[in-house]
Amino acid sequence: MVISESLSRFAEGWSEADYVGGHPVLDFVNTVADTGKTRLDDKIGSWDAMRGWARGAGLLTGHELASFLQDTALDDDGELARLHGFREQVYEAILGLAGQADRASPTMAGLERSIRDAMGRGSFAGEGGRFRWRPDARSPRRWLDALALALEELLRSQDASRLRQCSRCTWFFIDRGRGAGRRWCDMRTCGNRAKAEAFRCR
C-alpha cells in the first residue's frame, strides 16, 4: 500500500483534508461527508469521483492504478452500488471496533465473505521485501477486492486497536497519539467547529 505524499497527487475535487483517516480503508469510509452524525453527503457518486479519490488514497500502487484505469468498461453502475454497500458494511463494523457499537455485528460475516472472495480472485505476491495480496485488475470486482484486501490488512495490524471516531462527525481515524488522545478527524474542520460552538455557548 502506498500512502499519498504530496498534494500534486490529488485529483480535482479532492484535497489533503479528504485523507485524514491514516489508512485508505478509513479514508474510503470517510467519503460520506457530514458535519454531524448524519452520513448524508456521498462524495463518490460516480466512477470519475471514485477514480479521483483512489489517485490520492494510496489504496493501489501506481502500477495497479494504471492497470485499473486501462479498462473502465468493467466499472458499471452495479459495481459502484456494491462499493457503496461495502463502504457502509465497513462503517458498521468499525463502529464496533471503535467501541461505538456491538463488536459482534452481523456485518462482519459479510465482510469476511468479501475478503475471502477477494483472496480467491487475487494473487499473493512479493513486493518490496514483503508479501501482500493483490487484486486482479481484470475482474469487475477489482475495486471492491482492493478495498477488502486492504481491510484485511488493517484488521490484522496493531492499528485496529487504535481506531477512533470523530467526536463531531462520522469519520474514523487511527489515533497514534499519547495521553488523552485525538478527538477530531481534523482540527482544521471538526476541531475548529467544535471550539467555535463551545465558545458561543459560554
Question: Model's pTM, two decimal places?
Answer: 0.87
pLDDT digits (tens, 9 = 90+) for 117-145: 999 999 998 877 888 999 999 999 999 99
- Non-local (6+) Cβ contacts of 11 within 8 A are 51, 52, 53, 55, 56
62 against 100, higher pLDDT: 62
Residue 200 pLDDT class (50, 70, 90 cuts):
low
The two most distant CA atoms of the chain are separated, in Å, by 58
pLDDT higher than threshold 60 for residue 104:
no
**What CA–CA distance (Å, rounded) separates 192 from 200?**
12
Q: Provide the CB-side half-sphere exposure for 174 (13 A, CA).
A: 16
- Non-local (6+) Cβ contacts of 50 within 8 A are 44, 75, 80, 83, 143
Taking CA atoms, 91 is separated from 27, 68, 81, 111, 141, in Å, by 11, 25, 15, 11, 20
pLDDT higher than threshold 90 for residue 199:
no
Residue 4 pLDDT class (50, 70, 90 cuts):
very low
pLDDT digits (tens, 9 = 90+) for 29-70: 999 987 778 888 999 999 999 999 999 999 999 999 999 999
